[in-house]
Amino acid sequence: PNAASLFVAFGVDVVERLGHLVDFWVIFNEPVIYTSLSHCMGMWPPGPPITSMAVKVNCLTNPETGSLKAQLNMVAAHRRLYGLIRATESRRGWRMAPVGVAHLLMDTRPYSNYGEQSGKLDEATELFLKLFARYLFIDMLRDVLDFCGINYYGEEVIQNFEPATLPHEVEYSGNGRGISATGMVNVLAQFHSRYQDDDQARFVGPSGYGYVITENGIADGSDLLRPAYIIEHLAALHHARSVLGVPVRGYIHWTVTDNWEWAD
């Protein structure tokens, strides 16, 4: 119950001690992924995994428990820290560093789109992901985001509420993500369409910084796919900016070193 207050206390120490060195603040990284995999899927602490589909859906969608409750705590903490960062910058005479989050997005599509099956479960799952994983967290914070950070790695095909693979239609990275530079254009265009005329979306307003690609890269132990991957995704980013008018202001490649994660 004290998670938000404890995180804010930690954040205050960081801001006071290191704020003069910061160019951009990313208060939370991949909040939807973190809360889902830790509270509902059991891949990360605290776990354990939930096997019942009904209980899993409740964990993901009920604001009184699980993933969504944790996200609401994150939203509360972000809002408090946004104000504290601005107040500290003003008091100390520091320049204002843009504040945002890094939000993981995949270009999702149902398995049935490829003619492999005719059921409606995949389409319902894709809709569920769009409602609860794509927009909800940003919707709750859009007025206190100077920029919207997007982590994008590739395409995700959904089958029976789980990721699926299509070896004949999609090229895959070393960790099983479908490679699709077009998918980056798709998610940027979808976000631009949703928020460009939203007066509450600070990041696209007159004082906003727009979008930043906060992570983009590929797991490729052989380094055979990486050169083309980078070029294709930079070309896709150029198309989104110059042709579609998406206000993307930055790009960060992830990563130039080995990456160790909770479950890897």
Q: Is 156 a residue of the active site?
A: no
Pairing of strands 210-215, 99-110: unpaired
Check 30, 126, 155, 156 and give the catalytic one: 30
d(CA 8, CA 5): 5
Check 126, 155, 156, 215 and give the catalytic one: 215
Q: Is 215 a residue of the active site?
A: yes
**30 near 104, Cβ under 8 Å?**
yes
The type of residue at 111 is Y
**Catalytic residue positions?**
30, 215
